[in-house]
Amino acid sequence: MSVRFELDPAVTPEVRDGIRALWADVANAGGAVGLVPPVTPEDVRPDLVRHLVALTEGRERLLIGRDAGGRVVATAFLTLNWHRMSTHWLWVYTVMVHPDLQGRGVGRALMAAVADAARGIDDIIGLRLTCRGGTGLCRFYESCGYKEIGRAPRAIKLADGDFRDDITMWLDLA
């Protein structure tokens, strides 16, 4: 499947609603995107609003992927650091690929587009993200060139008795 990636798209109602629908679909398919299923697009709204505010304030950049029909099928938010000693790297948040596209190389293409976008931002030398243990995401990010640099055991609670490690990954762009 061909996906076209776009950095800093206009956040039209179509894009906003597309991200909300994608986020709900990913969460409901078991994706580690900050919500526990079942969720609706409306449940996603508060988290998305936080990202949209950060975009308008210039603290984040948005990368989306669209399919041939223009539907939003992938996202990542690149977050700039506010501390003067950390402005040389970005956080990557809310990395999502529509569940129907899993295993087709779209995730790898998204992560390559994230790295390319970051390389286009002055003085950025690295990317940092976190992922939930027990999902296989650590292996996926390692296959994209990231290295595990830290792990907080049992730092994520999905339900009573269901704790997961919070894994920090780094991609050196220099």
**What does the pLDDT look like over 65-93, one tens digit per residue?**
999 999 999 999 999 999 999 999 999 99
Find the helix or strand (DSSP H, E) in which 19 lies: helix 13-28
What pLDDT sits at residue 174? 83
Residue ranges of the chain whose pLDDT lies below 50: none
What pLDDT sits at residue 41? 96
